[in-house]
Structure 1
Amino acid sequence: MSSRIRRHLLATSLVGLIGTTMPVLAQTAPVTTEPAPGIQAPESTPNEPTNTGDIVVTGTLIRDPSIASSAPVQIVGKDEIRLRQANTAEEVLRTLPGAVPSIGSAVNNGGAGSFYVDLRGLGNFRNVVLLDGNRIAPADLLGRVDLNNIPLALIERVDTLTGGASTTYGADAITGVVNFVTRSDFSGLEAAASYQLNDRGDGRYFRGDVTLGGNFADDKGNAVISFGYQKADPVYQGARDFSSTQIDSYSGAQGGSGTSLPSSFSVGSLGTRQLQPTTGSLVAPYQPFNYNPYNIFQTPFERYNAYAAAHYDVADDIEVYGRAMYSKNVVQTIVAPSGVFAANVAIPLSNPYLPAAARASFCANNDFNAAVAGIQTITAAQCAAGALATSPSDANYRTFTTQLRIRTTDVGPRIDRYETQVFDFRGGVRGDLTDHLSYDVAGSYGESENYHAQQNYVSLSRVRDALLATNPNSCISGATGCVPLNVFGSAGAISEAQAAYLRVPATSRITSSLAQARGQINGDLGFAIPMAAKPVSFAAGAEYRKYKAAQEADALAQNPSELGGAGGAITPFEGGYSVIEGFGELIAPLIQNRPGFQDLTLETGIRQSHYSIDAAGKPSYNTTSWKVGGSWTPVDAIKLRGVYQRAIRAPNINELFQPNTTGLGSLAIDPCSGRKPVGNATLTAVCVGQGAPAFTIGSIQDPSSGQPNTTTGGNLQLQPEKATTYTLGVVLQPPMIPSLTVTVDYYNIKIRDAITSPTAQDAIDNCFAALSGSSAASPVCTQIRRNPDTGALDGDAGTTGGLYLGLSNLGRLKTDGIDLGVNYRHAIGAAMLNLSFQGNWTHSQLFQATPSSVNRECVGFYSANCGYSGSIQPEFYWNQRTTLTLGAADLSVQWRHLDDVKQEPLDVIANGKAFGNYGRIPAYDYFDTSVRFRVQPQFEFTVTVNNVFDKQPPFVGGSIGVVQFNSGNTYPSTYDALGRRFSFGARLTF
């Protein structure tokens, strides 16, 4: 490679002073350059020794400072992180072009206390997160790494390689890797603190870090230790005008949940009726529950972390090294109050709180004799006698069964507290075998524990006990502490004594561990190919990994019918698997320093893996991943590069071992709802065949809050999914414009035998799209199980399975697009101007769960079924940063652009309508500014303003997307729902 290419790659790799986000066209050793007057030299280079003294080159295992990877790598340097004043690694990765926002601080209902990254929108479990090129302990059953545990204070840079990387890093790296590289040989003391506040006075966020390090033993060793703390306050959706009221995306009217207050009841053939407290009458449902004010845009978060690393030269050619990390995170998700969500309860006619008008309706319409077919009502006289009978031994004592929906606001909001603790240790020895060969042998072990405490959830069994009361002072059941319950009033009708009896704490726990060992030899073969100057480099070795995970829960959490609004049972299980791998990589310069061939290099690699599943009778299997690529520099100004890879992903523990569990999905319209089946014999037969009682036809309601029940589970017969990926790119450095670098890379990722489950709409379409006389008995129809009382797709998880979304290897995923990077640095007198641009054009992203499912195109679209992850993927997305450095001051502006997106056309067809402006989100542009002052060489102060113009997020209602990402009438993970934010940071170094 020419020296000019090397110099410009180094000078622009982190965009000079600020380390902005950009793709790395090569990764080369430091060279000596003089900075412009008044300008500090770049703080780091793309190749950086870690605390182990190793050379980290993301994308290859070959440890050679002059190696240039054939795959493009995006880099975010530590200065960029400081200018953004990011608090977690998820904040850094969320806005990368080519990634889509995953579960993070803006996900409230559906988050489980951990934050993740999703590369190319193909799933947050199809990539690998590394620390200094090594795996760390996963945080959950899917093997994902919680980004909350990354020690940002010690991060030198973040490398993101998208596209298959299974050959280099093993399974799971189908969409790429994110590698956090720590600062090496830290010496001195650094203390930093930052404080963030929203323009409206909420969302306070504090972060503080202290790092101490130094050399010892006559500079033979170095040790560093870092401590961090951060705390974030919640931002409630009720505190923003656009999100204070839930709006139905399809009607434009006030929406919300059918589990509301006042209560609703099933009243025989009349269907669902809601109580009118002022009259005591049961009338047509009139008031859904507005749950938005209780939900949050920024989850409360508190974190303590510690990180330590050291290395020591035992001898000239032997170095021992190690690192340890510990993190404790507490995340709280807060959602609307609990209650009774369409569960059957028995109520005596003599219940002391039952209004007379409601009693009359129940007597005239509900069934009072289950032993006789049909609805057996009672007369007005029998009803009146039953109202006076207070003892079960009285011949006139009668109860009726009704499906109750009530939102128990007097109990308080549901709070899920997730406390996660993670520790991870790694140690090893490395050194030189010969002048051309080095070795590295290391092992590590890590564990995580996620403790989940559910607070303010209502116990259904206690509700049933408390409703079997005939006076306001005692329960017929005689249950200890039972307090009769009033479900026939408005807010305030449930006393604190009643609420205290209903509240039950439930707990669950997820533990996971990763043990690994690796031995590797690096070096060169001692000779060069005749037309090349550099020798052939290689890496070879073996690796072992053992994954274990378990989920446990108390009796309350395990019962699918016990906790009101818990979304289903937490089922205990455990599982594990191990993998033994052998790997090798080769980088061979073919032609160098010849006319038309400044450099032509070949890169290859292969990894053979043997998996053993911890299950009786489950056979092991073997997989092979490989890559071939190269780069060609014909002249100084042009470099062409490309790599083709075969990648694999083995099924994770959750996909293999998770028992069938009923939870919640996303679906707005039920084909059996309303009057649609009336007069349509085929549709009626299908609805009844799925478990809907005949008398409910014509009165079935759409899923409450757009959340049908869904049943999913693991599958021990799953096999690894396979992917073919390739990138083709060019690096341009025109000689007529010094310091300008342009990179253009096309990527293509295809996954077959993908481990997927159908979307909720897929399950509906598979049954209802082409109904015939035989559809009522078709498995794709009968596996949908409806509420046995109302015929709806929601209700008690113990009796309503809803939509079956089973896992299989029948899926296919595909995406392709172009990444563009432009970087320019130019001195203007005593000032230095840095310009950088990183953009992505996604041409396509297709997802087909099964051969009978829709091959769904989701780039530029949004719906409850669009996007594999459920998040939005615009067609165009870019970041542009302009920084002017003058003396000790940096003034920087970042421009973030998201292209316009529309309601998915298939969603319009499936639901029969779109609503005005809710069907389109225009292009969005955000501007952030930062000013940094280096007051003294040891002290700097930074002020950052995010969303300078306080641009409000798009308003699309709250029922057009999946619950995790369509919340507060917008998409808060994609668009800024917090508004203008001010961050103040200070850093002191010695």
Structure 2
Amino acid sequence: MKQRQTQQVRAVLGAAFLVGSPLVQAQSVNLPADSPDSPAGVEMIVVTGSRISTANGYEAPTPITLVTSEELLKKAPESIAAGLTKLPQFVGTAGSNVTSSQAGTPSAGNYLNLRRLGSIETLLLLNGQRLPPTSFDGTTDANIIPQALIQRVDVVTGGASAAYGSDAVAGVVNFILDTKFEGIKGSVQGGVSSRGDNEQEKVSLAAGKFFMDGRLHLEGSFDYFYQPGLENNGLRPYGGNYEGGWVNVGANPARPCAAGTCPENPFTPMYNVRLANGTYGTLIHGGRTARQAEARAGSTPFSLTGYTFEPTLVGGPVSEFGAHPADLGTPTGTPNFNVGGADTAVTFGTTLTSLLNTKQTFARADYEFGENLTGFLQGSFSDSDTRYVTVGAGTQFQSFQIYSDNAFLPVGVRQRMQQEGLASFVASRVEADQHPKEVLTNNRAATVLGGLNGRWSDMQWTTNFSYGRSKLRTRHFGNFHQPRWFAALDAVDAGEFSGGAANGNIVCRTDLTNPGLFPGCKPWNPFGNGSPSAESYAYFQDEPSRYQVENRTSGLAASLSGPLFDVPAGPVNFALGGEYRRQKLIQQSNVDPSTPIELYEPGLVEDGATNPANLNGIPEGLRTAANPFNLLWNSTNVGNSFGKQNIAEGFAELAVPILTDKPFAQELELNGAFRYTDYSVTGGMRAWKVGARWSPVEQIRFRGTWSQDIRAPTLYELFQGVGSTRGTFTDIHTGRNTNLITLNRGNPDLKPEIARTITAGAIWQPTFFPGFSASIDFYKIRIEDQITRPNTTLINQLCEDSGGTGPTCELIVRPLPFDDRSAENFPLSIATVPFNQAFSEMDGIDYEINYDMLLGPGKLALRLLGNYTREFTQASSPGAIPLILAGAAAGVPKHQITPSIDFSTDRLSVGVDVRYISELFYTLQPNVFVTNNRLSSVAYLNANLTYDIVDGESPVTLYLSGANLLDKLVFAPQNNAQPTEFYPSFQSQYDVIGRYFTAGVRFQF
């Protein structure tokens, strides 16, 4: 009878949590001794999204990896979220190890990514409650979660949309709080790499206490973390920086095909790869007659093409022209990427890992109103700052033209231009003398959750309200304010301009032609590294490009669960409930790229007529009738966005015991869940799941689920305003590598993704081998109508493959017809828009082995977590060639294994673990060729040691951990990466810090 009662408790609680109502708080539940539903003294641990687990998720029908906060902090002492990224199921998580060159993505937080299906497919919960998004793309930074009171983390590694709704396609990460903590505990720690850099500081404090004879419980916590990051790529081997770095470039410059697309011209790692289409002192390209200069189109041969101006014009010798033929090194098979050369340049100064500074506070109150009614109220606030340098040397490739009357132009060059009948020439420059382009982000998030839990007869009910608000602020310093830059670039001598003799009064031309248009303009001298004045840079570079994103989420929810009736095998249990949420996105920026920046008098550009209001420096392609000039900044032009929607959901779940205590059926249970969600923007969607658990004998259990999961488009995917960026781009159509304007916008016609997930597994806990347990689970996920935003390279390739007739060709604006492959037909712009046209499919196996035993004076714990990914493919559209990502560097490793050994006594604990990543390949595509395509497997050795210098009920513990003790750094140059802008490794996959040590002290009383 007692066994049946225990099963009843498990069924009731399991039903509620399998449905996954965020109303139900996942926590340890102490049932009273006189409860009719539980044996006395039993403490049940409820695992969200599953049934009750007394150990590590083995009794759940859906695969679950359960990890304690202590175990995670051993793997990564900086944070629990960072420890999760060391688990085999997490691949490609973006954190401080991954920075952005454009500052237009939320890459410097900690955005967890299950199975590399995308952080947007991974749902984050705190005690079963959905966390608000913290960035414009709908993802949530795990750094906002309070650390000190986290008890464990449950990772549901199967589809869970029927339980939690949208975004749970890849799975759920549920951070479980200790809501009954009593006492005071804290920790202080510091860390440093073996190279003496990237020091960290961390402080954590929590307190809790019962009042009013145990009816009231209060608790709170505070966490602080700081780490400066690594300021540039040159701080680690192979990183380059001021020297040219390692890059995979085409090996054969004579081949007409793009690098890596034919066997004769494979991507090959080369050292000292540098930029050949720009120099630190300004590189001269083709000349222009007066009419060409006015129309900003076409070119005329110039005898000084390929000349660069002296490295410095102050105190050094100069040639006859103040310029000399540029030494641009040896060409490679990648256009404009050369090896060596005295005058070539690199975009040095990129931050390797970003600065991170986080602060989190949390408070909670629980109150027992009566025997069957309890209430709670909790709130959290987090403040997170990041900082990193995108580049220390910006690039301006064929991005401006210089007129012959420029006051800074050396006399010899001016005379040669006049002799050859040229009014201007187009130029390129790498800005080694500018202030580095630095990104500062601040992310603040606040959440409030309150509710009531009660019991009515055999039924349990819950109701709650929630509110979350986050604000992300980003500032990108060092950007060129484009109109001001072009005004400062066009410098003239005031005396000469008025028809008189030169008087040395150098001013911006607009001061004379359009006084007041650009007040305070400071002429900029581009001729020679170090020639521009600090004042001229400050004029167009001091103000940052900036934007802020605010997300607001509020909701009401209620649920009811309990037994319906009894069948011979036990009670049939149900859970049902509903939820209503409101979401709002507000994004504001100091630029609106959707509105062209008009710097011309209408109608006087294309016909070549004189127009003194024009800014003369603007080159071809930046302003035509088809492509109005719309970049206020030379990068990070994020548009304004606004969107909102209401979401109504209803769910139901049923757990039906079929057999119990029968031969070959110690337990057989079926369960099913259904959720209907109505989105005010995209309409209604259904998610469902059916599952079963079967124990033929006591020591073996089988489990399986089949589900339909959904992900609704985010407000940003639907309503993103037009944004734009400028960066270098290799056009396979023309073979030209130069600057490209990329336009980004949302798509209000998107519909939700639909995924089908199958899991099937087994758990073995042999009675003849006490302390041993093992599980193995197969999973298969296929996402249809997946929302993806094809990048410019893919858009370009798909259009090329279609011969200019495919749908992506409409996103590419060229000045000439498609059949023209001359350099002049380089795209004016490419637009990227999200579409429901991709699919992803993957299958693999998760497995886990545990063994605990007594050994001498202590306990030995062995654990192995592993993942095998058999297949992972993605296609950008129906009929497109799928990308093979299982075993590819841009995808997931075939094998990831983390074995660990821990030995502990009353006062001492020693642990060792190894994180193994199997071999990867740059590419597995049949039409892409890479020399040395294989990246060898790597194993990171980590160790930890703790010792209680004070034991008993108020312990004081010293701890020491070492990560990557063998100092493994994986050398993996990027294909066609801009030299030294990207570290030659896959930073979301491999460690780039090297050997690292952390020491600290913990206390509790």
**Is the TM value for this pair above 0.5?**
yes
**1:905 positional shift:** 3.4
Shift in CA distance, 782/577, structure 1 to aligned 2, threshold 3 Å: closer
Tell me which residue corresponds to 2:759. Answer: 727
Shift in CA distance, 64/237, structure 1 to aligned 2, threshold 3 Å: closer
Tell me which residue corresponds to 1:702. Answer: 737
Tell me which residue corresponds to 1:641. Answer: 703
**1:634 positional shift:** 0.8
888, 895, 900: which one pairs with 1:876? 895
Tell me which residue corresponds to 1:566. Answer: 635
978, 981, 984: which one pairs with 2:999? 984
Shift in CA distance, 452/622, structure 1 to aligned 2, threshold 3 Å: same
Tell me which residue corresponds to 2:579. Answer: 543
903, 920, 925: which one pairs with 2:939? 925
**1:474 positional shift:** 2.4
Instruction: Give CA-to-partner distance per residue, 1:769-823, whole Å, 9 cap, x none.
Output: 354xxx4x66543532348999999999xx9554444322221111110001011
SS at match of 1:477: helix
**1:733 positional shift:** 1.9
Instruction: Give CA-to-partner distance per residue, 1:284-342, whole Å, 9 cap, x none.
Output: 755553234x1222210112211011100111111110110001111112121364634
**2:157/2:170 contact within 8 Å kept:** yes
Instruction: Give CA-to-partner distance per residue, 1:907-937, whole Å, 9 cap, x none.
Output: x724xx423x3x2210001100100111113
Shift in CA distance, 877/626, structure 1 to aligned 2, threshold 3 Å: same
Tell me which residue corresponds to 1:247. Answer: 246
Structure 2 CA distance for aligned equivalents of residues 793 and 709 of structure 1: 19
**1:758/1:853 contact within 8 Å kept:** no
1:737-756 alignment, distance < 5 Å:
737-756=769-788
SS at match of 2:567: coil
- Alignment partner of 1:659 is 2:721: yes
**1:980 positional shift:** 0.4
SS at match of 1:470: strand
Tell me which residue corresponds to 1:126. Answer: 121
SS at match of 1:582: strand
Structure 2 CA distance for aligned equivalents of residues 624 and 149 of structure 1: 31
Tell me which residue corresponds to 1:440. Answer: 462
1:357-506 alignment, distance < 5 Å:
358-359=413-414, 363=417, 379-380=419-420, 399-400=423-424, 402=426, 404-434=427-457, 436-471=458-493, 473-478=506-511, 479-490=518-529, 492-503=530-541, 504-506=543-545
Tell me which residue corresponds to 1:632. Answer: 694
Tell me which residue corresponds to 1:281. Answer: 324
Structure 1 CA distance for aligned equivalents of residues 221 and 167 of structure 2: 30
TM-score, normalised via structure 2 length: 0.80
Structure 2 CA distance for aligned equivalents of residues 834 and 88 of structure 1: 23
Tell me which residue corresponds to 1:337. Answer: 392
Structure 2 CA distance for aligned equivalents of residues 213 and 757 of structure 1: 47
Structure 1 CA distance for aligned equivalents of residues 701 and 54 of structure 2: 22
Structure 2 CA distance for aligned equivalents of residues 81 and 130 of structure 1: 17
Shift in CA distance, 790/332, structure 1 to aligned 2, threshold 3 Å: farther
Q: Which amino acid aligns with 1:969?
A: P
Shift in CA distance, 169/861, structure 1 to aligned 2, threshold 3 Å: same
Tell me which residue corresponds to 2:554. Answer: 515
Q: Which runs of 5+ in 2 are unaligned?
A: 11-25, 33-40, 250-267, 287-298, 311-317, 330-342, 494-503, 512-517, 598-628
Structure 1 CA distance for aligned equivalents of residues 977 and 887 of structure 2: 14
- Alignment partner of 1:91 is 2:127: no
853, 859, 867: which one pairs with 1:826? 853
Structure 2 CA distance for aligned equivalents of residues 792 and 224 of structure 1: 70
SS at match of 1:536: strand
Q: Which amino acid aligns with 1:655?
A: E
Shift in CA distance, 45/445, structure 1 to aligned 2, threshold 3 Å: farther
Structure 1 CA distance for aligned equivalents of residues 78 and 820 of structure 2: 43
**1:960 positional shift:** 5.7
Structure 2 CA distance for aligned equivalents of residues 92 and 65 of structure 1: 17
- Alignment partner of 1:323 is 2:366: no
Total equivalences in the alignment: 859
**1:193/1:207 contact within 8 Å kept:** yes
**1:486 positional shift:** 1.3
Tell me which residue corresponds to 1:168. Answer: 163
Shift in CA distance, 344/926, structure 1 to aligned 2, threshold 3 Å: closer
Shift in CA distance, 430/642, structure 1 to aligned 2, threshold 3 Å: same
**1:206 positional shift:** 0.7
Q: Which amino acid aligns with 2:456?
A: L
**2:274/2:979 contact within 8 Å kept:** no
**1:47/1:57 contact within 8 Å kept:** no
**1:246 positional shift:** 2.4
**1:128 positional shift:** 0.9
SS at match of 1:967: coil
Q: Which amino acid aligns with 2:428?
A: R
Structure 1 CA distance for aligned equivalents of residues 158 and 742 of structure 2: 32
**1:154/1:226 contact within 8 Å kept:** yes
1:593-604 alignment, distance < 5 Å:
593-604=661-672
Q: Which amino acid aligns with 1:656?
A: L
Q: Which amino acid aligns with 2:973?
A: G
Tell me which residue corresponds to 1:783. Answer: 811
Tell me which residue corresponds to 1:891. Answer: 910
Structure 2 CA distance for aligned equivalents of residues 284 and 988 of structure 1: 63
Instruction: Give CA-to-partner distance per residue, 1:67-123, whole Å, 9 cap, x none.
Output: 943001011202212323432344122222122122111111255343211111111
Instruction: Give CA-to-partner distance per residue, 1:704-749, whole Å, 9 cap, x none.
Output: 7xxx654432211111111110100000123332211110000010
Shift in CA distance, 246/989, structure 1 to aligned 2, threshold 3 Å: same
Instruction: Give CA-to-partner distance per residue, 1:820-853, whole Å, 9 cap, x none.
Output: 1011111122121111000000011111111142
**2:273/2:979 contact within 8 Å kept:** no
SS at match of 1:114: coil
**1:506 positional shift:** 2.6
Q: Which amino acid aligns with 1:520?
A: S
**1:46 positional shift:** 10
**2:673/2:688 contact within 8 Å kept:** yes
Q: Which amino acid aligns with 1:861?
A: A
Tell me which residue corresponds to 2:405. Answer: 350
Q: Which runs of 5+ in 1 are unaligned?
A: 11-25, 33-43, 49-54, 364-377, 384-398, 614-619, 675-700, 868-872
Q: Percent identity?
A: 24
Tell me which residue corresponds to 1:528. Answer: 566
SS at match of 1:152: coil
Q: CA RMSD in A?
A: 3.5
Q: Which amino acid aligns with 1:783?
A: L
731, 753, 756: which one pairs with 1:670? 731
**1:495 positional shift:** 2.3
571, 591, 596: which one pairs with 1:555? 591
Shift in CA distance, 598/27, structure 1 to aligned 2, threshold 3 Å: farther
Shift in CA distance, 214/30, structure 1 to aligned 2, threshold 3 Å: closer
SS at match of 1:117: coil
Shift in CA distance, 265/943, structure 1 to aligned 2, threshold 3 Å: same
**2:709/2:757 contact within 8 Å kept:** yes
Q: Which amino acid aligns with 1:468?
A: D
Tell me which residue corresponds to 1:79. Answer: 70
**1:232/1:301 contact within 8 Å kept:** yes
**1:637/1:734 contact within 8 Å kept:** yes
Tell me which residue corresponds to 1:686. Answer: none
Tell me which residue corresponds to 1:22. Answer: none
Tell me which residue corresponds to 2:614. Answer: none
Structure 2 CA distance for aligned equivalents of residues 794 and 581 of structure 1: 56
Shift in CA distance, 164/231, structure 1 to aligned 2, threshold 3 Å: same
**1:337/1:413 contact within 8 Å kept:** yes
